[in-house]
Chain A
């Protein structure tokens, strides 16, 4: 049992330990395996293959397990670290301590959007992007995308999602207009709402985080720890609500073999959503 803290509450020493553990995973090659895994399981809802990670009810449990695996790797390096969470409704500017030189470093520079500060700047020699979307070997950020400005989600956006008492709804994909899952995952609905919450944060950071290799930016983990915390908050707010779909969909339903109901094991770990509903024996949010 360990704690996941708000990143704004970390001490200087805690930040250094976390950064050092991440750099060690990068040095050993394990970090890039995590980036590839995320890329591998990005399946869209126009495809007929199973999609455990995105545009799908198991968005929350798949990423919970993914973070647990990463955290396990981090803690094998240094058992005192855990993944902190970034509450982007609160620390919502480029001047947040999150982006300081002693933690994740700042925005990309104008022009090539290369991150120049902090431990993940290419020139520091410890953070080479090997399998990114571009040829660039450096981490890229483009806060707020000035060419077509985007803002971070507001607290009210999160509250609206948390109020929905239904976990997820048909058609169980990126066009589900109601339900907590897609309100947080945040796919834009044509003629309805725009890009929201989880997706919007990826977009606001931009650069590496906007693309297929988004875990190349270590802020990915802090962002997803907050997404994981929001799931826990939703469960507490709606104690009688359950993960949906609870059972296999009927034969003939086009989503039947593409999504993961409560008890269907998810790749690559062969773990069902039902096994990931409660994290209280592993970690807690403080």
Chain B
């Protein structure tokens, strides 16, 4: 634990598996949560301009859990691969027209475009809806008119703006 801010998150400089290995891992399971240590750079690379990728790479993958100003803030990167977009996990097709997943070594790359990159951030267990800008930065429902380079900064800024208030439990998930 970091004595200055109570951070328990994984170090940003965790070793990263080779890209292919990461992709294979990613598309083996339908849902992989809390994989910030290895997946975030690949997933974030599927969208946004090159500059954003560099910035994200510099900041590192995000997974955190800390006490900030007395509030528990948590963040994870979650990826959901929609059903039917899992070339390595799906059963072999039976109509003979669709290519067999195993015969398509680059199917994973195509699948990457269909993968939905998600982020889950919470303050005291209540979900903080987070959105992204084209430059890869984040903004939340609490701070709608400024953005932050990392999820951690987004969560901390939300706490600053909330004061003692609790996020609405009924907050619509998509806005």
Chain A residues packing against B (C-beta within 8 Å): 39-40, 42, 44-47, 55, 111-113, 131-136, 140, 142, 145, 147-148, 171, 173-175, 186-188, 190, 195, 198-200, 202-203, 206-207, 210-212, 214
A199 CB contact (under 8 Å) in B146, B160, B163, B169:
B146
16 A–B contacts from the bound complex (CB under 8 Å)? A39-B172, A46-B133, A111-B164, A112-B164, A133-B168, A133-B171, A134-B162, A134-B167, A142-B163, A174-B135, A188-B146, A195-B145, A203-B145, A203-B146, A211-B142, A214-B144
B165 CB contact (under 8 Å) in A39, A40, A134, A190:
A134
B132 CB contact (under 8 Å) in A44, A140, A200:
A44
Within 8 A of A (CB), among B143-173: 143-147, 149, 160-172
User: CB distance B165 to A210 under 8 Å?
Assistant: no
Scoring B132, B134, B139, B149 by chain A CB atoms within 10 A of each residue's CB, the highest score goes to B134
Q: How large is the interface on B (under 10, 10 to 19, 20 to 34, 35 or more residues)?
A: 20 to 34
Quick one: closest A residue to B139, CB to CB?
A44
Chain B residues packing against A (C-beta within 8 Å): 47-48, 55, 129, 131-137, 139, 141-147, 149, 160-172, 175
A184 to B28, CA, bound (A): 47
Quick one: closest A residue to B160, CB to CB?
A147
A138 shortest CB reach to chain B, Å: 10
User: CB distance A142 to B168 under 8 Å?
Assistant: no
A39 to B131, CA, bound (A): 13
User: CB distance B167 to A111 under 8 Å?
Assistant: no
Task: Kindly list the 10 A-B residue pairs having the minimum CB-CB distance in the complex, ordered from nearest.
Answer: A46-B132, A199-B145, A134-B165, A212-B141, A202-B145, A45-B134, A44-B131, A135-B166, A147-B160, A195-B146
Taking chain A's interface residues, is the majority helix, strand, or loop, or is none over half, making it mixed?
loop
A198 to B144, CA, bound (A): 12
User: CB distance B167 to A133 under 8 Å?
Assistant: yes
Known: A46-B47, A132-B168. A142 touches B131 (CB 8 A): no
Residues of B within 8 A of A200 (CB): 145
User: CB distance B163 to A135 under 8 Å?
Assistant: no
Known: A132-B168, A134-B168, A140-B165. A190 touches B144 (CB 8 A): no
